[in-house]
A and B are shown apart, each in its own frame.
Chain A
Amino acid sequence: MVHYKHFAVAVMLMMTSLLALADNTIVVRDAWVREAPPGAPVLAAYFTLENPGSKADKLVAVLCPDFDKIEIHATEIRAGVARMVALDALPIPPHAEVRLAPGGHHLMLHHPRRALAAGMNVKLELRFDSGARLTVVAPVRRAESGAMHH
């Protein structure tokens, strides 16, 4: 029994290290969709992309049947003016983390095909330059500014 346990642990360790060695295993964390006012024509989604590998990758597209169109956007404030800039791709450098967050990078979700409210889930398919595809479940949440949580 004891031997069996050791063996299992050894196999698990091996598998974990194999996974860690595999390149371009982008990890998606903390995905969420910002709940929008009723009838709002656009929504935003946010998440953190982690690239533990040694090769750079790019997020090139996001698909979801709940919206007419999804774009990768950056909110830029230049000389006091906020602009939304559509990006063809979002680079994810090796051994780095790219955070999509309110006031910065976000997904712009055009024209929801069903009414989305807090508590519902949206399935996003992320496509990467490396060819990898990842499906993440993003819960719809009402946003808080964070100022009240400190």
Chain B
Amino acid sequence: MTEGRERRIGEIVGAVARQALADRGAARIALLDDGGPEAELAARLLEAAVGAERVARVTAGNAEVESLLHLAPAGDAERAREEVRRMRARLVADAVPAHPANKTALLLGGELPPEPLLPLGDLWASEVAELAGRWSAPAQVQRIAALAGGIEALDAALRAWADGRDASALARLPPGAADAVMRALDAGRASRLHPRIVPKIGTRTLTIDLFE
């Protein structure tokens, strides 16, 4: 059932990843690897597309994380780990950083990650679960999924809203879930509109109206 889908999705993700490397003249992809199913799936697809030697899986060392914990809001260790991975990915030579988050996590997780490549960014969490056996997301998104009655119910509503343009789909979620989804969507809306922020000072501005 999923074989054809994984093959096709692998072809698409792989083609875009190869193009991202070619466009930037980069040698490899630096994939932020939190050990979750998205990172596993993204690594599998990317390695199949460009070769395992061209995918650097970037993890965070405990000592590095501990040294940063005092800077993380409320001592949030997950946040500190993510930032360590991010920094290390940026330091990988000749690489395009990639974040493995799924579409549900990106939509409901607040600000979009700054990595230029989001290889699973158009796969819902429940689709990741079908391909990888499980899914993951930040704690706030997992709480929303529980309120919605499970990830399938949440993704079905999001899919109807986003892909089916059904404006009332989210309102049909259980009341607590509907409110939480709306708040989460609002929190990330600005970053989705303009994934990179460039104050417009001149006549033509990067990411706004200068694409040369």
Q: Does A associate with B in a complex?
A: no
- Residue positions of A touching B, CB distance < 8 A: none
